[in-house]
Each structure stands twice: as C-alpha cells, then as structure tokens.
Amino acid sequence: MTTPPDMASEAARQRLLRGQAWDDFCDTLKAAGRHINAVNGPLSDLDQAEWYRFITRLVRSGLERLVENAEPTRPRLRDMVWRQSINVQTVDQDHLMCQFDEARDYIITGTRGTIPYFVMAVLTCPAPEAPGTEDWAAQGIAGLKRFDPSNLKTTGFLASQQLHVEEDGTFQIILSQNDPGPGQNWLRLTPETNCILIRLVWSDRAKQTAPAMTIARRDHAPPEPISPASIANGLAWTAQSVLGYAELVRNWWQGSQGNFAARLNRLDYSRAQYLSNGGVPDRHVAFGGWEKRLDEALVLEFIPPKCEYWNFQLCNIWQENLDTFEDGNGWINNTRHVAETDGRVRVVIAETDPGIGGNWINSYRHDKGIWGLRFVQTANTAPVILWRLPLADLTARGLAALDTVEPVKTGQFVD
C-alpha cells in the first residue's frame, strides 16, 4: 500500500533530522566503493585507482544533479560535472539534464545555435515515491531492483531536425502528458518520467555555438525553500545512483548486461545494449572489450557510412574516457581523423606511435578496457577488421607486419 504523501514527507523529515538519512547515504557510498571486490579477475593498480576516482566522480555528479538541481519549483538544465564519463560517453557531446520529481508540464525556450545536431530524451528509472523514508544500504545490490537511478529508459525523444524553429533561430518545446495542439513542438511525458537528457553533438567546438536553453514550469509555481524531506530524498537518490553505476560498469565488464571481459577485442552492434541505459534509437553503437599487453598494438580498420556524426573512442574498464582526451587524444570523429584514399579509417592503439600513419590512440598504460564505435542518424553500420601484434614488429616493419597476423573480422549485430 502506498504511503500518503503527507505521511511520507513526515517520515523522510524525521529520518533526516535524526541523522538516519545521512548515515544511510554514507553507508551506501561505502558499499559502492567496496563493490570493486565483486569484479573477478586481476585488476592493475591503475584499474583500482581509476575505480575509486570513478566513485568520487559519481558522487560529485549525483549531488549536482540529484540534490543541488532537483528542486521541483526551480528546474534547471545543467551539464554533467567536469570529466564525468558514464556509458562510454563521447567527448563530442555535452549532456544537459533536469530532474523531475513527478511529471509536470514544462516549457523549454531556446535558440538553435550552430551545432549540427542535438536530441532531447525523456527518461524513467525504477524509483519509489519517497526514497528518503527507507534505509537502502542494508538492501545492497538487491535494492536496485526497486530503486536504480542508473537504469534509465527512454520513453520519448525529439531531435533538432524535427523542431519548428522561428526565423530568428528561437524555439519553444512543450513537455507535457497531454498534446498541446497543432503547431507546437511537443515532447510527451509519462507519469513515471524522472528526467530529461539533452545530448548536444559538436563537430568543431572552436567554431560552433551551442543552443541556449532554459526550462520552466508552465504553472509558474514560485520557488520554495528546501525541506528536510527533499534533502532526505535527494541523498537517497544520490547514493543509489552511485551504487547503481558501480554495479552497471561491473555488469557490462563481466555480467549479464555485456560480459565484455569474456569477449575481448570485438566490437558488437547491439540495440538492446545501447538502449538499456538512456539511449535514443536514431543511431547504431558497437561496444566491446579490448585487451593487449603494454608491448603490443591493436590496429582497427573500418569505412564509416554516410551519417550525421560518427566517433570511435577508447575507455578504461569503468567506461571512462582515458585521461588523454584532454590532450586531444583517445578518440576520433567524422571531422577529426585521417582517412586512407579508399575511405578506410585506420586506428592504431599502442603505448607509442609506431609511425604507420592512420590515427594513433595512446593506450596510456592501460592493458584492457572498453571501446565504442557510434554512427548517428544512419541506417547503416560498418564492419571492422582488427589485428593484434607486437608493437616492435609494427614499428620496425610498418604495415607489412599486419600480413603476418590473422585478422579478426568483427562489427556484427548480435541482436
């Protein structure tokens, strides 16, 4: 039986004032950090250091989105925190989010900007009505069945090409459960909608401008002070999001959701895999696990299909972009890559550049991780040919060294 709202609010209030909500928040974070022990197999010192940094980034991101920017009468569109990377997040996208405590009517007002493409998605996830009334730490991973902010499912989306934009570059979008009528840009909400996620896709950050967007409630409800109950709920949301993403990356690496550790050096296209965590069905994405010794190289070749945007990126096993992305390394896309005369794109992953041309990506002392290849707004994909060989051979003999290694043909659909 559902607890009446006033009783739930009072229960959450009492838990915060007694310190229970805070203790549960801290205990859930402890459990999330210790979840590294659920990862089977050897982890390098680098893997473990990046795990604990990953947890701190999740805490930062969760507090920003689920406490600071979760006031129901003061909605905001906020980018993810600096260097946060979840689910093989491309460097070429910004991710604006706004949390909804329940599905109300909203309006987004903006200017189009000059980036080639953006898409808005409304999402839902398993969540109780008043999470601040419960202790979650003791429930552990089992509690994610009822409350998992990382388990985002897309219930509707609207791409920039679908928008009606005025001649002066401005637009408005209605977010509501009921159709606002003809001539309106409309993104449908459901009673279960938790948040909106807006992906801004860049081709050249130095030359392009992003859309400028604000969100407001259509009922013009005035801002209200925070309450003990809202903070109790926000702490629960944050801690469960950290635990949820800790389990998500473990599950992708060696669980039922991906098990990439058992299928290394492949790139598989999977609609189910991509859409399982807030994806939108206007693209094809191939994920996989990669592995090589530090004295080896991986070489990949593919021909990108015609599409709005594509990228290839290298990540650690926790789905984070390698730290080289700030130096302009670690990924390539449709506007920053070197192609062969026949259109093939060659990627060389190694600790040093062997000097064979193509696109060198520094593995940056990593011996394993996850990689992704995405093609946006296209019905086509690209098969991939992959070689693994000693870096010294590739450096000494150049492309001729590839002839001595049996290539792996990958890039297939698995569902």
What does 96-157 look like in DSSP terms, one character per residue?
Answer: EEEE-SS---EEEEEE--S-SEEEEEEEE----S-GGGS--GGGGGGGGGT--TT--EEEEE
pLDDT at residue 278 in the model = 67
Q: Work out the pLDDT band at 85, boundaries 50, 70, 90.
A: confident
Q: CB count, 10 Å around CB of 342?
A: 6
**String of b and e for 150-160 (b: at least 16 CB within 10 Å)?**
bbbbbbbbbbb
Q: Residues 367-413: pLDDT tens digits? A: 999 999 999 999 899 999 999 999 999 999 999 999 999 999 999 88
Is the pLDDT assigned to residue 4 strictly greater than 80? no
pLDDT at residue 276 in the model = 72
How far is C-alpha 9 from the chain's CA centre? 32
Q: Work out the pLDDT band at 330, boundaries 50, 70, 90.
A: very high
Percent of the chain with pLDDT over 90: 86
Name the one residue in this structure whose structure tokens are 């928040």. 25
pLDDT at residue 134 in the model = 97
Within 8 A by CB and 6+ apart from 183, the residues are 164
- Counting Cβ atoms within 10 Å, is residue 306 exposed (0-12), middle (13-18) or buried (19+)? exposed
Q: Work out the pLDDT band at 2, boundaries 50, 70, 90.
A: low
Residue 363 sits at φ, ψ, to 5 deg, of -75, -10
Q: Work out the pLDDT band at 98, boundaries 50, 70, 90.
A: very high
So where are the chain's domains?
Answer: 8-254, 260-413
Q: Residues 10-34: pLDDT tens digits? A: 999 999 999 999 999 999 999 999 9
The Cα 364–Cα 357 span in angstroms is 19
Within 8 A by CB and 6+ apart from 296, the residues are 350, 388, 389, 390, 391
Q: Work out the pLDDT band at 151, boundaries 50, 70, 90.
A: very high
Residue among 60, 234, 22, 53 at smallest CA distance from 137: 22
Within 8 A by CB and 6+ apart from 223, the residues are 71, 73, 74
Is the pLDDT assigned to residue 366 strictly greater than 90? yes
The Cα 25–Cα 132 span in angstroms is 10
Give the alpha-carbon dihedral of 248, 264, 324, 387, to 10 degrees: -160
Is the pLDDT assigned to residue 1 strictly greater than 60? no
**Mean pLDDT value of segment 154-176:** 96
Is the pLDDT assigned to residue 318 strictly greater than 90? yes
**Mean pLDDT value of segment 46-57:** 97
CA dihedral for 347, 351, 353, 354, sign (positive or negative): negative
Measured between alpha carbons, how far is residue 44 from residues 41, 187, 261, 294, 389 in Å? 10, 45, 14, 12, 22
Residue 318's DSSP bridge partners are: none
Residue among 324, 321, 348 at smallest CA distance from 337: 348
Q: Residues 246-279: pLDDT tens digits? A: 999 999 999 988 899 998 999 999 887 777 766 7
Residue 85 sits at φ, ψ, to 5 deg, of -140, 115
Does domain 260-413 match CATH 1.10.238?
Answer: no
Is the pLDDT assigned to residue 342 strictly greater than 80? yes
